A and B are shown apart, each in its own frame.
Chain A
Amino acid sequence: MTTLIARTVSKACLPIIILFSVSLLLAGHDNPGGGFIGGVMFATAVSLMYVVFGLNYIEALYNNNWDKWFGIGLLVASLTGIGAMLFGYNFLRSMSIYATLPLVGSTKIISTTFFDIGVYLVVIGGLLYIFKSMGEDK
């Protein structure tokens, strides 16, 4: 079993890392980051929890096989591509608009963000799926 320090610190870190990973995902188009990095970061955060608290403890809280994550991710990414076809463009053609959102203000909304969300989900799902099946192996 891990030390009290490790457990406390990792509990405190988890929300921060996850928030950071989401910010990496959303800011990725103009600043360092993106779906892949964000996804790997999310995966490290969760794997930190697995390592520190053990598989069984985490599963008691939140049992997830992670396979749904990469399934949904693939779906989101492909649908983004097909979305462009609905407007008569080629598969995966990107589009962007500027919109004024409440609280945030003027924001650029670009279709590749949705594609990146798909990548994000696939990376999280794929890595943690591998991670968990290795961890479960006796």
Chain B
Amino acid sequence: MNTIFYKLGGAITILFLVVLLPLGFVMLEIFNNYNHTHLKEETEEMASQYAIMLSAADRLDVDLLVDSMSTETVREIIVFDQTETIIESSGMESFSPRKKSSGTEEIGSYIDPKTNQHYFYAGKPVLDNAIASIYVFSPSNMMSSSAVRVQNALWLSGLGSLLLALGFTFIFSKKLTNPLQMMEKTAKKLARGDLNTKVPVTTRDELGSLARSMNELARELKRYRDNRREFFSNVSHEFRTPLSYIQGYSHALKNGLQQNEDQRQQFIHIIHDEANRMNRLIEDLFELSRMEEERFPLELELVHLGHIAQKAVEKVRPSAGDKEITLVTEIEEDIPDIVGDSFRLEQIFMNLLQNAVRYTEHGCVRVKVLAEDGKVIGTVSDTGLGIASEEIPHIFERFYRIEKSRARDFGGTGLGLAIVKQLTELQYGTIDVESCDGKGTTFTLCFPEAREGDE
């Protein structure tokens, strides 16, 4: 019973009763008052008519009149003489007129002590020497058959209105509370971990908006849960490989399994490299998590993207030289400044350039910086392995590697592009990638020009 349907339905029903019951009571009061007034008028009229009749009648007619009155109607009649003695009565002997002066009209109410019945009475003088007055008594609860029908019709229409109100209350309460009940069930399912559940959106009001928000929340929760699972799985996988290297080679060194000094040095190098790799991985993960939580401090200032790109190219040039790769720069001199953190922008270019050099065996790596339509655009393109079209949507995900089998040969933590994307977006920029499998890849960075007042 403690559901919103019963509460809402009950409240509306009570509201209907609050309106209908006083209305019904007042209508019945009006009807009763009308009936009583009508009864009084009728009694008076009857008394007047009988008084006129008796003034022209003899004693025998009086007996007949009183007899017929007592047998055919519920009304009573009393006829008094000049000394206020009852001449004829249909059974109301205990009554005596209030006014001593006979020959005047009298109306009032009277309770018969024998039956405790309430009566309206009307007394009228009779212009006859023998008869002084006639009194007609009508029971106060007396109603004509029409009046009884009207009263019954009122009761019936009240009942009909109540039933009609209950029927519509039931429908409206159900219609209003059904979405809430569905949402409550969905919320319970979500709390139990069933994140695939959805609330049907049927309206465009606040309830519809709430349902949409709940569905959005469920989607976000599911995405978060999937990401977290994937993240833990990737982290454990990424750490397992270098750890097993370190464990294996340190065990070999501990037990003196190396054949000579060169091999010992080689084992130490491997352990050192893997330890470095793990360190880089931890640093990258830490940075990435801070970026995703939007707690990453940036020193934003006006910077020249061309200068930053040039600095990054110079840093990468030695490693490009080792692989006989040509580094080409096409940087426009008069490009406008952008708002960004110079160190982090350099990190973006460094990551892209290192990737380009890593995945390019021969050919060239080209860096362009130009201004276009109020934007500063930087591109890093290579003539390397390229990326398959089905891989492109995933390359900015954490730990996503294009060639999983050869990933370790190329080094890197698998977090570089995820960091690049986060850093770019934190500095109001966008990053796009175009690639042709086997022919090369182009990354395009786009930053808005600095406006006046940005410094």
**Are chains A and B native binding partners rather than an unrelated pairing?**
no
Q: Which B residues are within 8 Å of any A CB, using their own CB?
A: none
